[in-house]
Amino acid sequence: MNIYNLPQSTIVNRNVPKNAFDEYSNSKQKRMFTDLISKITWKHKISSETINLSGIEVQEIQLFEIQLKEKNSIRPLLDIIDKAIPYHIIFIIVFENEVRFRTAKKHLNPLNENNAVIDWVFETEWANQGDSAYGLELKKNIDSVYYNFCSEITGEDKKFDSIAEMISYQSEIKELETNIERLKSLIKNAKQFNRKLELNVELNRVEGELEGVMGRTR
């Protein structure tokens, strides 16, 4: 089901004041909320109250649309909102005719259940709104709805048995890619031939490891 065409029962369409997150923000972040964001709208609520599905680990999914004043990264602000609201949120970030999506898998802070801890962020690139085909499969249970959406964002097409397994895979890929970029930088700046040779051997090893990890899901 297209993310813009969810059941009537899930519609909230309530404005969220930008200053609602002041207690979680420093002065710089408060200015960013004002300078970068035009409007925050709580669009939909997916829960046992609004659809005939329940969840265990993911009990509710909130959809927030954020209209930007300029096309800029607001990841620190999304992190603040995610930590302030304990339920899982799908952000629909809009600038003019472009859109991108972001959601964070998270869990409750054991020391403060009113705050959440972010485990992993899933996000798309910018695309024209008319080309966006992301949706939510309102089937089975809310955990499955959320997992399927994260699978769609990553392009992994439900290849894993759980979100935890998907995050472990994504984390491993990211670590290897970061290591590859670090080695390439070291090779570029190395002065001695022997050192370049050592680094190239290590680079080939890590690139082979990355290929092997990615090959596990093909």
d(CA 170, CA 122): 10
Q: Please give the helix or strand (H or E) that residue 168 lies within, else none.
A: helix 163-189
- Mean predicted lDDT score pLDDT of the chain: 90
Alpha helical stretches, state H, 74-162: 75-84, 142-154
d(CA 194, CA 197): 5
d(CA 25, CA 56): 30
pLDDT tens string 73-105 = 999 999 999 999 989 999 999 999 999 999 999
Rounded to the nearest 5 degrees, what angle is found at the Cα of 83, between the Cα atoms of 81 and 84? 65
Instruction: Tell me the two tokens of residue 106.
Output: 């998270």
Domain ranges in the chain? Answer: 8-158, 168-215
* Residue 157 predicted with pLDDT over 90: no
Dihedral over Cα of 124, 125, 130, 131: its sign? negative
- pTM for this prediction: 0.84
pLDDT given at position 155: 80
pLDDT given at position 15: 96
* Torsion, Cα of 75, 77, 83, 84 (10° steps): -160
pLDDT given at position 167: 85
d(CA 52, CA 40): 27
